[in-house]
A and B are shown apart, each in its own frame.
Chain A
Amino acid sequence: MSGQRTSTRDIVYIALFAALTAALGLFPPIPIAFLGGVSVTAQSIGPMLAGAILGGRRGALSMLLVVALVAVGLPLLAGGRGGLGVFAGPTAGYLVGWVPAAYVVGKLHEWAWNKLNVVSSFIFCAIGGIIVLYAIGIPWTTVNIGAPFLKVAMASSVFVIGDVIKAGIAAVIAVAIKRAYPLIERRATAS
């Protein structure tokens, strides 16, 4: 958030991707049959898309805006959750973790922008949107509920399949958007 200037155009992209992530939370969760009825929400694709399309800095700022909007009480999370109470709950790490997740996804996309394809984009989305996110979410839950780390990690692993699917969707979209609206490249050549 420091150093680099954020232009008005950047603010608009940051705000609209925050709004997009919020809008994704309005879709009802999809129960996945082969996961024994575990519901998957469309919303956590938001940090992957924000990073992959806006880049690290703008992507992370837009997720920070989502977190702030939830904190001031808007019911933006899947299932209509919102407010400061969310941050006291055991799964808040998976919300706060969106910020570093989007940052890592974005930085990786910036780094490999010129040779980006669906496979590399998928790997980057998985590193940021799954590994980084769970690295924050699982310890958070562990501390919050005072349960052993390994048991929490095992319980969390049922969500990985849904997130892998989301990383795949995000990768296809990111590569398609790269052709139509190459936002990262323009920034790279401008600065």
Chain B
Amino acid sequence: MMAGRDPAAVSLIHRIGAGPKLLTLAVAGTVLVIVGQWWWLALALAVILALYRFAGLSFAQAYKQIRPLLWILVILFAFQVYWESWNYAALVVLRIAALVLLAALVTLTTRTDALISAVETGLHPLKPLGVDPAKVGLAFSLALRFIPVIAAQAREIRDAQRARGLGTNPIALALPLVLRTLRMAGDVADAIEARSPYSDDDELPPRFAVDIDKSHSRKSCPDNEPPLETSSI
């Protein structure tokens, strides 16, 4: 579930790079917001659905993207017909549906790791502001690695508290979970520091610090093994 999208499902849309796809999404999204006639949005929706087919995705998959919003859209349509006009109701509902489907299409046809590296690349211009893309990459990798771990702990704690008759007490569930998370964070930070050739807390291991300014990075031992596995996102 946490891994990237199916790499075998390849279409032309899948092969476009993550960066161009995100840019296209931004431009198309802006256009969809500006358009003020519902029939243009109906046309756009039809084009987006055609793109789903073109990407080898079924209409069922498209429906799955919109399903969590379905009841909101139905209520919204009814209220907008009541407050404004059915034209306006159709405009609003079609616009949300088109935007959600288009954005979801980008997500469905792009691997998660490709999007993460697009984020890192996009952050490079922010370096003068103190944003370190390598540290952002480390944060992404760590979060991805620990979501399943913490989720498993949450389940474990819930089962244990249920056995004690505390299954519905939210504090009995959340407090041990937060404590374990903090303890784990301490251990992980210790482990990174122990395996890092740097003694300074503020320096990243060399693998994450490819582009760090020479002026404040110390020389590391060249034969040191990279301390953390990052390629397994």
Which A residues fall within an 8 A CB radius of B? 1-9, 11-20, 22-24, 26-27, 42, 45, 49, 53, 61, 65, 68-69, 71-76, 79, 81-91, 144-148, 151, 169, 172-173, 176-177, 180-181, 183
Contacts and interface: CB of A to CB of B under 8 A. Distances in A.
B139 A65 contact: yes
Interface size range on B against A: 35 or more
Please report whether the interface of chain A is mostly helix, strand, loop or mixed according to DSSP: helix
B47 interface: no
B88 interface: yes
Given A16-B150, A20-B181, A72-B116, A83 B104 contact: yes
Nearest to B146: A19
A147 to B, nearest CB: 7
Contact of A11 (B80, B131, B135): B135
29 contacts: A1-B129, A4-B130, A7-B201, A9-B201, A15-B139, A15-B141, A16-B143, A16-B188, A19-B143, A19-B146, A20-B178, A20-B181, A22-B150, A26-B154, A27-B154, A27-B158, A68-B119, A71-B115, A73-B110, A83-B104, A85-B101, A85-B102, A85-B104, A88-B96, A88-B99, A89-B96, A146-B80, A146-B92, A181-B179
Given A8-B204, A22-B151, A84-B103, 4 more contacts: A1-B130, A19-B147, A85-B102, A146-B80
Contacts of B174: 42, 45, 49, 169, 173
Contacts, number: 193
Counting chain A CB atoms within 10 Å of each CB, which of B83, B129, B143, B189 scores highest? Answer: B143
A159 B201 CA distance: 42
